[in-house]
Structure 1
Amino acid sequence: MADLSINFAGIKAPNPFWLASAPPTDKAYNVVRAYEAGWGGVVWKTLGEDPAAVNVSSRYSAIYGKNKEVLGFNNIELITDRSLEINLREIEQVKKDWPDRALVVSLMVPCEEESWKYILPLVEATGADGIELNFGCPHGMPERGMGAAVGQVPEYVEMVTRWCKTYSKMPVIVKLTPNITDIRGPARAAYNGGADAVSLINTINSITSIDLDQMVARPIVGGRSTHGGYCGPAVKPIAMNMVAEIARDPATAGIPISGIGGIGSWRDAAEFIALGASSVQVCTAAMLYGFRIVEEMKDGLSRWMDEKGYNSIADFSGKAIPNTTDWKYLDMNYKVIAQIDQDKCIGCGRCYIACEDTSHQSIANLLQDNGTHKYEVKEEECVGCNLCQITCPVTDCITMVPQDTGEPYMNWTQDPRNPFREAS
């Protein structure tokens, strides 16, 4: 049976599934329930200086699918609104009671050396396994010179990280903001500052919807609103790209990565791990479905690893990175064309409409004697874009079939059609 245990930057946990710093980890009651449910670790909701932050009401909004499933989740909640003393006392007790689980403390204090020098020994005294520097919160805190206001400036990231390594012996994880042009900049800064690991992504600046009667964005606070932090399934593609960018950057190669962003199943976790993560953090899915989702996550990941012959998380962490490259290195001579399985086709015509109206007019609409329609791919016109496959509602009805072009590998830097091609 697969071994799900991990050693993340010196922090041991029985499995890679951690709760992210958020409302689910705001107090001992929640964290103990999470451990009882089987979570391998938690990142305690961000601590700050006293007096504690004050939150507003309401705080959440969402983007929904057709069946009311939450696709994206938006929040304007700040860091913990409980005192530093209460949080530290609870952290110490929880760690004593659950020594085998990872307990990382998220921190955010002003970008002043004395503030960090003061709080770090207090956290270390609790016995916590490590700290996560919250350089990503996109609302409320940046106006105070914290959160994303730090994470968007690599020099600040490196400076604060170095302070933390100077005044603490705990592993330092730097949580990165996605609200930046190139995630590699702050990741490199964290690495240069001595970070033991990075975690990403934090939430994305967002306004999810507008109440068109009141003419105000949601969530509504006394008739007004503001942008918040976007998370949930909708951000997963963005998060995975940023994780991969760091994992394949020579300047940060090998730094442990905790993947965050839209993880709600074992498959999501496996995908993040394949792109270089060695632990994953979950928030939105736990808030929507409760802590017991971790049971299915652990079971599913373990079964899949057994099926693939992976004995540990390390066996497949980063395994997809060698196959992730820049567009210019893709094979220009590789070709696929669509193929429709007529036995599975239900004749809905969605592939035809999509291709005819918005793509390459590569599907023929043939009227049959019985009045039904048959759809066939015009192979000579098909460019292999796979729009038809995406629009088809029937699994495996349309497949993309590789073609033997007889041509060798040739990327864009070598292509004679590229006026700026590189010399061989």
Structure 2
Amino acid sequence: MADLSIDFCGIKSPNPFWLASAPPTDKAYNVVRAFEAGWGGVVWKTLGEDPPAVNVSSRYSALHGKNREVIGFNNIELITDRSLEINLREITAVKKAWPDRALVVSMMLPCEEAPWREILPLVEATGADGIELNFGCPHGMPERGMGAAVGQQPDLIEQVTRWCKTYTRLPVIVKLTPNITDVRAPARAALAGGADAVSLINTINSITHLDLDRMVAFPAVGNASTHGGYCGTAVKPIALNMVAEIARDPMTKGLPISGIGGIGNWRDAAEFIALGAGSVQVCTAAMLHGFRIVEEMKDGLSRWMDSKGYDNIAAFSRKAVPNTTDWKYLDMNYQVIAHIDQDKCIQCGRCHVACEDTSHQAIARLVDGNARKYEVIEPECVGCNLCEITCPVEGCITMVPQQTGKPYMNWTQDPRNPRAEVTLDEA
């Protein structure tokens, strides 16, 4: 059996699956149930100053797919609405009862040194394993000069991180906002401030849908609403990209990363780890399906690692990073062509319609009496993958690599590029 245990910036846990700072980690009752279910760690819901935040009703909305599947989840809930004293007492008790699990405390305070100096020692005294600085919350708290309002300003990230490293011996994880043009800048600032790690992504500014009778967005609070934080399956591609950007940035490539965003199964987790994450945090999937989902996550990841010969998480961590590059370095001479497996084809015609209407007219529709058949017109196929994506039968359409006889050539070397940096011979 593969070893799922991790040591993330000095924080040990029996597996890489942590619950993210959110409603599922708001109190001891939830966290204990999570540990009983097998989660390797939790990030306690964000603590703030007293008096605690006051939340509104309602708080959640969702984007649904077919059969009411939740594709994206939106919330306007703030940080903990329980007192600092109650939270600290419960954190102390939980950590004492579960010493082998990772317990990280999320924190959000004003950009003033005094509150951090006062509260950090109290958090450290609980026995917690680390702190996570919430610089990502996109609603409510930015209006108070916290959350994403800090995460969008690298100078503030560096300053607050440095304060935390001054007033606590615990590992400091900086949680980054995705509501920014280039996530590398705040990651670099966190590192400059002494951060031990970063976590990302926090939620994305969003409005999921409207009630067109009342002309108000969801979740509705009376006759008004506001943008909230978007999470769930839909944000996974954005999160993977941002994790990869930090992992392959020369200035931050060695910085530990806790991956967050749309993780709902073991495969999602493996993808985050392969692109640079040392631990993964889950929220929406647990809210929709309960804490027991971690059983499948652990079992699935372990079985996959065994099948690949990976003895531990480190064996495949960041393994996909060297294969992630800028567009200009991709091979211009590499070519694939679509192939339709006629034995699997159900003659639905989706590939033909998509290619004929919106792509390269590379799939022919052949009719012989009442029979239909679809074939790829190879000279017209550019290998865009659209037909493969639209096909409802898995494995029916595949993209077949072609032997072009041409050497690797990227765009910086391509003679068709008016600003080519070097010739092919020089490369």
TM-score, normalised with respect to structure 2: 0.99
What's the counterpart of residue 3 of structure 1?
A: 3
Q: How does 1:98-247 map to 2 (within 5 A)?
A: 98-247=98-247
Cα separation, 1, equivalents of 2:203 and 2:341:
42
What's the secondary structure of 1:380's corresponding residue?
helix
Cα separation, 2, equivalents of 1:340 and 1:290:
40
What's the counterpart of residue 307 of structure 2?
A: 307
- 1:1-28 alpha-carbon deviations (Å, 9 max, x no partner): 1000000000000000000000000000
Give the % identical residues: 82
What's the counterpart of residue 390 of structure 1?
A: 389
Q: How does 1:266-345 map to 2 (within 5 A)?
A: 266-345=266-345
Cα separation, 1, equivalents of 2:346 and 2:208:
36
Shift of 1:107: 0.1
What's the counterpart of residue 422 of structure 1?
A: 421
- 1:260-286 alpha-carbon deviations (Å, 9 max, x no partner): 000000000000000000100000000
What's the counterpart of residue 79 of structure 1?
A: 79
Shift of 1:368: 1.2
What's the counterpart of residue 365 of structure 2?
A: 365
What's the secondary structure of 1:258's corresponding residue?
strand
Cα separation, 2, equivalents of 1:195 and 1:372:
64
Cα separation, 2, equivalents of 1:4 and 1:421:
46
Shift of 1:97: 0.4
- 1:183-242 alpha-carbon deviations (Å, 9 max, x no partner): 000000000100000000000000000100000000000110000000000000000000
Cα separation, 1, equivalents of 2:108 and 2:412:
45
Cα separation, 1, equivalents of 2:398 and 2:252:
38
Deviation above 2 Å: which 4+ runs of structure 1?
A: none
Cα separation, 2, equivalents of 1:312 and 1:66:
37
Aligned residues: 423
Shift of 1:66: 1.0
Cα separation, 2, equivalents of 1:31 and 1:341:
49
What's the secondary structure of 2:191's corresponding residue?
helix
Q: What amino acid is aligned across from residue 78 of structure 1 in structure 2?
A: L
Q: What amino acid is aligned across from residue 409 of structure 1 in structure 2?
A: Y
Shift of 1:155: 0.3
Cα separation, 2, equivalents of 1:197 and 1:213:
46
What's the secondary structure of 2:380's corresponding residue?
coil
Cα separation, 1, equivalents of 2:48 and 2:213:
38
Shift of 1:43: 0.1
Cα separation, 2, equivalents of 1:346 and 1:98:
54
What's the secondary structure of 2:332's corresponding residue?
coil
Cα separation, 1, equivalents of 2:395 and 2:90:
52
Cα separation, 2, equivalents of 1:364 and 1:145:
58
- 1:345-386 alpha-carbon deviations (Å, 9 max, x no partner): 1100000000000000001111013x1211000001100001
Q: Does 1:374 align with 2:373?
A: yes
Q: What amino acid is aligned across from residue 408 of structure 2 in structure 1?
A: Y
Cα separation, 2, equivalents of 1:281 and 1:302:
17
Cα separation, 2, equivalents of 1:180 and 1:127:
34
What's the secondary structure of 1:311's corresponding residue?
coil
What's the secondary structure of 1:287's corresponding residue?
helix
RMSD: 0.5
Q: What amino acid is aligned across from residue 97 of structure 1 in structure 2?
A: A
Instruction: Point out where structure 1 has 5 or more consecutive residues left out of the alignment.
Output: none
Q: What amino acid is aligned across from residue 268 of structure 2 in structure 1?
A: D
TM-score, normalised with respect to structure 1: 0.99
Q: What amino acid is aligned across from residue 180 of structure 2 in structure 1?
A: I
Cα separation, 1, equivalents of 2:343 and 2:15:
44
What's the secondary structure of 2:165's corresponding residue?
helix
What's the secondary structure of 1:81's corresponding residue?
coil
Cα separation, 2, equivalents of 1:411 and 1:368:
44
Q: What amino acid is aligned across from residue 319 of structure 1 in structure 2?
A: K
Cα separation, 1, equivalents of 2:379 and 2:94:
65
Instruction: Point out where structure 2 has 5 or more consecutive residues left out of the alignment.
Output: none
Cα separation, 1, equivalents of 2:385 and 2:40:
39
